[in-house]
């Protein structure tokens, strides 16, 4: 048999309490119409609205792409046979693809070609690191 690790980044589908350095990040500073589960200081869990995320800088985007590369390498080193990149369900890759969450006016926004750039760079980085025959995307 084979075992595959799924790599994903939630992007704006998060809460500030999960980030030591502040807000969740996204292609654009647009809060999702969604809630996330958090545990308050009182120890009680509850659903709360997602905050307005911080828009990713170009350097942030490059860093996240390298995080995917490093995570893929680590997974293979740990014994996984391959990687599945999660590109749906409103998470970061999906956020770049959607016009409703990506209002960028640089090479990562606007046209479908530009909105595809992030996922293509992630797939390329992971494939370069571990081999394209070990990479899938959903």
Confidence class for position 21, pLDDT limits 50, 70, 90: confident
Percent of the chain with pLDDT over 70: 100
Confidence class for position 71, pLDDT limits 50, 70, 90: very high
Asked if 91 is an active-site residue, the reply is yes
Supply 103's token pair.
């209002």
Domain range annotation of the chain: 4-137
Residue 92 phi, psi (nearest 5): -55, -45
Average pLDDT over residues 113-135: 99
Q: What is the pLDDT of residues 37-46, one digit of tens each?
A: 999 889 999 9
The CATH number of domain 4-137 is 3.20.20.70: yes
Q: Are 47 and 101 in contact (CB under 8 A)?
A: no
Catalytic residue among 91, 97, 107, 119: 91
């Amino acid at each position: 048999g084979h075992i595959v690790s799924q790599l994903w980044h939630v992007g704006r589908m998060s809460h500030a309490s999960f980030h030591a350095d502040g807000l969740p990040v996204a292609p654009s500073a647009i809060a999702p119409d969604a809630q996330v589960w958090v545990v308050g200081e009182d120890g009680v869990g509850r659903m709360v609205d997602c905050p307005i995320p911080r828009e990713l800088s170009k350097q942030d985007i490059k860093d996240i792409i390298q995080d995917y590369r490093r995570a893929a390498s680590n997974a293979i080193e740990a014994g996984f046979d391959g990687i599945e990149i999660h590109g749906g369900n409103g998470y970061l890759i999906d956020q770049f693809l959607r016009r409703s969450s990506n209002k960028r006016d640089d090479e990562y926004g606007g046209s479908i070609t530009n909105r595809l750039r992030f996922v293509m760079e992630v797939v390329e980085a992971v494939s370069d690191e571990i081999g394209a025959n070990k990479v899938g995307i959903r």
